[in-house]
Structures are given as C-alpha cells and as structure tokens.
Amino acid sequence: MKNSNNLLDGHQREGEWSTLGADLNYWIRHIRPVQWYPGHIAKTEKELKEQLKLMDVVIEVRDARIPLATSHPQMDAWLGNRKRILVLNREDMISTADRNAWASFFSHQGIKVIFANGKLGMGSVKLGRLAKSLAINVNSKRRSKGLLPRPVRAGIVGYPNVGKSSLINRLLKRRMCTAAPRPGVTRELKWVRFGKDLELLDSPGILPMRISDQTAAIKLAICDDIGERSYDVSDVAAILVQMLVRLPEVGSEPLYNRYKIDVDGNCGKTFIEKLSRQLFNGDANQAAFRVLTDFRKGRFGWNALERPPMVL
C-alpha cells in the first residue's frame, strides 16, 4: 500500500484538516452519544468557581493532542481578568508540525502557551518561572497600594486526566498529588506551597455539565480523557480508524503495517470487524480496545487529532 502523504503541500494539508471536522460531524450522528458526568464533578465545579476567586494566576492545562476539545466552554467567563497561563501537556504525543501550528496559533492570539510533558517534567521549569514572575507582579501591585506582600495563589485547572497532578508533582519535584492513568482520580481541592512566593492548587478534572459538542466528546474518548463507561468502545475505535486514514500525516499505511488489514472504503467498523476475526475470535470489543490502545501508545506515530482552525 502506497502512502501519497508526502505529495501533499501545505495548503492541501490544511484543507484536509478542515474537511475532517465536517466528516467527523457526519460520522458521529450515527453512533451512541458519549456522555459522562460523574457526581463528584458537579460538586467540584461549584467549589472550583469559589476557589477561582482566590486565585491570582490560573494555569489551564489542556491535552496537546486535542487543545480545542479540552477547553472548557465556561472557562473564559470564570476567569475574567485573572492572569492565565495555558499549558499544552503531553507534548511528547504530537508531532513537531502539530506543535508549530499550535504555537503560532496561540501566539497570534497573544496567549502565553507552554508545551509540557508531565511525565518527564519538560516545560515545568519554564512554567514555574512564568508563574513566579506573574506572582511577583501581583505583589508589586499590592505594594504600590500599600498592602503587604503575601504568597501568590496559582490554581491548576483542566479536564480530567490531562496531566494536572503530574505537572504539579514535577513543579514541586516531589509526589504531592496522585497521578493515575485514569480520568477522575483527583477528588478534592488542595493547596501546596511552591517556593516562598507561591501556593499551588491542584483540582479535580472539570468537564462541562453536558458534553454538547459530540465531536469533542469523541476525541476525549479516543485520547482516554474521559471514563470508558461513557462510550461504546467499538464506535469510538471505528471513528478513530476513519480519522487516522484522513489525517494528512498518518493515512492508512500505519494501520496496514500493524495489522496487515486494508481499510475498506474508509469504513472503520468493517476494519474493526476484520481485526476481531483475525485476532480476537470475533470479539469486536477486544479489537476496538487494541486499536485505541495502539493509538494511545503512539503505534501509528505521534499525532494530534486537532489543528488550529484556518484563519481566512
């Protein structure tokens, strides 16, 4: 099987990304909607809104593979004028081209963005420095108003499983917060001291009340950012196959190379069925899990599932 990806020029690639969005919208109409909203999140959302009032700096963590799908629709309204640092975590799971595209998108918007790897600690020094420099600003403003300096409070917020606890542990160089490969592990809000000037708050992942944007929900499921019980694994894996085939930097070759199965008419469902017969005695669930796990482990290459919207 031949991959003609290298023949695509920049404009064609951008075009492919934008039509992928429309196709995804069409595909998801035919599957069971993803829904996940554990009880503790409702409680946390309420608490978090209270805690945000105490925060001088907000560090918003998103998954670098899906920076749009992991942005909370109410976050802007909640944050108001508070100083904000955007962290795109899991930078090891995207390509250099993805990273460059997102870096230039956010810099055009005047948003400070840090790419990080919560597992290995990349980006944490830069993040610590930036948070501390924003903290100094807060205290110089207090001094100019005749107020005493106080530790500045930085809160880390973001969707479940995007790597908030791992980043805090990296920043503090010790294990303060539980990091786990399952969404929804951090359950309560806690402040921890970072140097003499800063206090950090880790918070449980927050999701919007309802995931009304199903294209975002599917990407969250693919990236393991929401719990497994909220979606049908076979549907999600089938859509992942269709997305991979359409991603300009992936295509069907890595799928063929891994499983020796052709993608028939770009149909992900048929692909999963064939894989289930070939390896799992017809068990489509197991086949679907295999494809999702392989994607999450980078077996088809490290690639983002989103690119910045095209600016016309």
Ligand X SMILES: Nc1nc2c(ncn2[C@@H]2O[C@H](COP(=O)(O)OP(=O)(O)OP(=O)(O)O)[C@@H](O)[C@H]2O)c(=O)[nH]1
**Which member of 117, 124, 230, 276 binds ligand X (CB under 6 A)?**
117
Place of tokens 């995931």: 211
Q: How far is the CB of 53 from ligand X (least distance, A)?
A: 21
DSSP codes joined into one string, 211-246: ---HHHHHHHHHTT-S-GGGS-HHHHHHHHHHHHHH
268 lies in the binding site for ligand X (CB under 6 A): no
- 56 in Cβ contact with 138 (< 8 Å): yes
Stretch that binds ligand X, among 115-123, 139-147, 232-240, 254-262 (CB under 6 A): 115-123
Q: How far is the CB of 9 from ligand X (least distance, A)?
A: 31
**56 annotated to a ligand binding site:** no
Stretch that binds ligand X, among 69-77, 157-165, 208-216, 273-281 (CB under 6 A): 157-165
126 lies in the binding site for ligand X (CB under 6 A): no
**3 annotated to a ligand binding site:** no
Q: How far apart are CA 212 and CA 39, in angstroms?
A: 18
**46 annotated to a ligand binding site:** no
Q: How far is CA 39 from the centre of its chain?
A: 22
Please give the residues from 169 up to 228 whose contact with ligand X meets the rule CB under 6 A.
179-181, 183-186, 204-205
Helices 124-144 + 164-172 axis angle, to 10 = 80
**Which member of 14, 23, 47, 92 binds ligand X (CB under 6 A)?**
92
Q: How far is the CB of 309 from ligand X (least distance, A)?
A: 24
Q: How far is the CB of 89 from ligand X (least distance, A)?
A: 5
**Which member of 72, 84, 153, 164 binds ligand X (CB under 6 A)?**
164
Find, among 107, 109, 161, 155, the residue nearest to 134 by Cα.
155
Instruction: Give the contacts of 205 (CB within 8 A, at least 6 positions apart).
Output: 41, 158, 159, 160, 161, 162, 164, 183, 184, 186
Strands (E), the chain: 57-63, 83-89, 113-116, 152-158, 190-194, 198-202
Q: How far is the CB of 30 from ligand X (least distance, A)?
A: 30
Q: With CB under 6 A, what is the number of residues at the site for ligand X?
A: 24
Half-sphere exposure of 32 (CA within 13 A, CB side): 12
42 lies in the binding site for ligand X (CB under 6 A): no
**Which member of 62, 83, 88, 118 binds ligand X (CB under 6 A)?**
118
162 lies in the binding site for ligand X (CB under 6 A): yes
